[in-house]
Amino acid sequence: MDFKYSEEAEAFRREFRAWLDANPPPRIDHDVAIGEFAETGSAIWQRHLEWHRTMHSGGWVGITWPKSYGGREATLEQSIVYGEELARVHAPSLVNGLGIAMVGPTLIHWGTEEQKKRFIPKILSAEEIWCQGFSEPGAGSDLASLQTRAVEDGDDFVINGQKVWTSGAHHADMCFLLARTDPEAPKHKGISYILVDMHSPGITVRPLIQMTGDHGFNEVFFEDVRVPRKNLVGAKNQGWQVANTTLAFERSSMGGGSARDVIGAARELARLARRVPRDGGTAWDDSSVRQQVAQFAIESAALRYLNLRQLTRRLKGLPPGPEGSGAKLVMSDLTVRTAKFAMELLGPYAQFEQNAAFALEGGKWSYRMLGARMMTIAGGTSEIQHNIIGERVLGLPKG
Ligand SMILES: Cc1cc2nc3c(=O)[nH]c(=O)nc-3n(C[C@H](O)[C@H](O)[C@H](O)COP(=O)(O)OP(=O)(O)OC[C@H]3O[C@@H](n4cnc5c(N)ncnc54)[C@H](O)[C@@H]3O)c2cc1C
């Protein structure tokens, strides 16, 4: 494992840091990590959007993409430095996360020249916000069981079906959608990857409210929605391969950013313990509390090394390995356990909601407790990550 960054990456850090110093990000008080979880038009959404535009005007969106499509052709190492610098200044997330992390890179790989020219500039500028229409009521972990149908009719596909857990569909202008185009073929071979205008007639978006009170998800219904055939990405019935490109980009975008959050959380727990009154002093006076916080810090450091091992592997030109599943599993488990420990520390204060009067630290820990579980589900559940590790790392028989 290599712990040092190259001079090229450090030069990149200096350039980006100087730009961030000149263009400091806005402060987002609400403890929402994902811009998509804010309501359209709300002050929080607006601040995320403005930050996105500022970053775009500086040329700091889609940095790994080819220069011909508005990127900087940043190396993998530079993209890690980029994430570190954004975390250092507590920058809010960009509003078009799914466009930038998932469909943009997929189009660069699979899209026609016409599709790249049409869609990529507006992904970067956030003029068009994207959502991901993959999961359905009967197709999550077993995504290839999806039932939404797309039938060719002249120059169009006609789409009927339902998607669920569609993050940010209430903001979205476009959706990258998986639909079944050959119901007779084996399930992985009859799927197509289609780009759908969310303003088309026949689309209904219904909110799903999480237990945090946020509106992040939606159900999306498609009734005879017409989509031009030119919006097909890859060949007809080849959508499973295209989707796998998107999912690989999703997983790689999740691990790093969230891992940084977990490392920061151990520090925040130490600060919290110093504030929670206990037995005439603070919780920090209790050695068992200090030991538990130290344990979280150790596990966070181990997670960082796991990520560096992954990075070293990729810098050697090897494809992402099963370390990604290990890192995602550790990160999501740590997120849940740190939130639970904060609840124990807070005792009766844990019952205050975010922003409630008398809540310690604005009630952010109870908000995080309610939100922590999502990381064990999104991007492949913990059970699925266990299966991957069992089969591909430990060589166990398929479950
Ligand atoms: C925060 C968040 C954001 C999301 N955003 C989107 C989005 O924008 N677009 C989108 O399309 N989807 C999105 N999803 C959906 C997500 O991809 C699915 O929830 C996930 O794939 C799991 O599918 P499911 O909910 O249908 O659960 P199921 O697949 O029905 O699983 C139910 C339970 O069974 C277990 N299980 C299933 N199969 C196996 C197996 N083979 N072995 C062992 N255990 C198994 C699972 O681990 C789980 O505990 C999002 C989810 C979350 C939490």
Share of the chain above pLDDT 70, in %: 91
In SS3 terms, 256-290 reads as HHHHHHHHHHHHHHHHHHHHCEECCEEHHHCHHHH
Q: List pLDDT tens digits, range 284-303.
A: 999 999 999 999 999 988 88
Residues of the chain with CATH 1.10.540.10: 7-125
Q: How far is CA 81 from CA 13, 85, 194, 323, in A?
A: 6, 6, 33, 20
pLDDT of the residue at 37: 65
pLDDT at 74 over 60: yes
Q: Find the 135 Cα to ligand 1 centroid distance in Å.
A: 8
CA distance 93 to 52: 8
Q: 251: CA distance to ligand 1 center in Å? A: 14
CA-proximal residue: ligand 1, atom 13 (nearest) = 165
Catalytic residue among 85, 136, 250, 299: 250
226 DSSP β-pair partners: 158
Higher pLDDT, 255 or 211: 211
Distance CA 234, CA 249 (A): 17
User: Residue 224, Cα to own-chain centre: how many angstroms?
Assistant: 30
Q: What is the pLDDT of residues 121-176, one digit of tens each?
A: 999 999 999 999 999 999 999 999 999 999 999 999 999 999 999 999 999 999 99
DSSP string of 289-319? Answer: HHHHHHHHHHHHHHHHHHHHHHHHHHHTTPP
Q: What's the 177 CA to ligand 1 centre distance in angstroms?
A: 17
Choose one of 374, 381, 398 to mutate for the ligand 1 pocket test, by most ligand atoms within 8 angstroms of C-beta: 381
CATH 1.20.140.10 range(s) for the chain read 242-393
* Chain centroid to CA 94: 11
- CATH 2.40.110.10 placement within the chain: 130-237
Strands (E) in 187-242, as ranges, are: 191-197, 203-208, 217-228, 232-233
Centre of ligand 1 from the C-alpha of residue 141, in Å: 5
Specify the ligand 1 atom closest to the Cα of 133: 11
Whether 77 has a pLDDT exceeding 70, the answer reads yes
SS3 of the chain: helix, strand, coil, percent, to 5: 55, 15, 30
Nearest CA to ligand 1 atom 7: 166
Pocket mutation for ligand 1, best pick of 165, 218, 220, 396 (most atoms within 8 Å of C-beta): 165
Asked whether the beta carbons of 242 and 112 are under 8 A apart, the reply is no
Q: Is the model's pLDDT at 32 over the cut of 60?
A: no
Q: How confident is the model at residue 353 (pLDDT cuts 50, 70, 90)?
A: confident
- pLDDT for residue 98: 93
> Nearest CA to 117 among 156, 70, 59, 73?
70
> How remote is the CA of residue 239 from the centroid of ligand 1, in Å?
19
Q: Which CATH number fits domain 7-125: 3.40.50.300, 2.30.30.360, 2.40.50.140, 1.10.540.10?
A: 1.10.540.10
Q: What is the pTM (predicted TM-score) of this model? A: 0.91
DSSP string of 78-103, one letter each residue: HHHHHHHHHHHTTPPPPTTHHIIIII
Query: 381 CA to middle of ligand 1, Å?
Result: 6
Q: By three-state DSSP, how is residue 161 classified? A: strand
Q: What DSSP assignment string belongs to 348-389?
A: GGGGSPTT-TT-GGGGHHHHHHHHHGGGGTTTS-HHHHHHHI
Residue nearest to atom 32 of ligand 1 (CA): 141
Tell which residue, 174, 100, 171, has the closest CA to residue 130. Answer: 174
Angle at 248 between CA 175 and CA 399, to 5 degrees: 110
Cβ–Cβ < 8 Å for 141, 384: yes
User: What residue ranges line ligand 1, CB within 6 angstroms?
Assistant: 131-135, 140-141, 165-167, 374, 377-378, 381, 383-384, 387, 399
Q: Is 250 a catalytic residue?
A: yes
Q: How confident is the model at residue 29 (pLDDT cuts 50, 70, 90)?
A: low
Q: Which atom of ligand 1 is nearest to the CA of 382?
A: 47
Superfamily covering domain 242-393: Butyryl-CoA Dehydrogenase, subunit A, domain 3 (1.20.140.10)
Atom of ligand 1 nearest to the CA of 142: 29
**Second-level CATH architecture of 130-237:** Beta Barrel (2.40)
- Of ligand 1's atoms, which has the minimum distance to the CA of residue 374? 53
Rounded Cα gap, residues 73 and 70, in angstroms: 9
Q: Return the residue matching tokens 């073929």.
A: 185
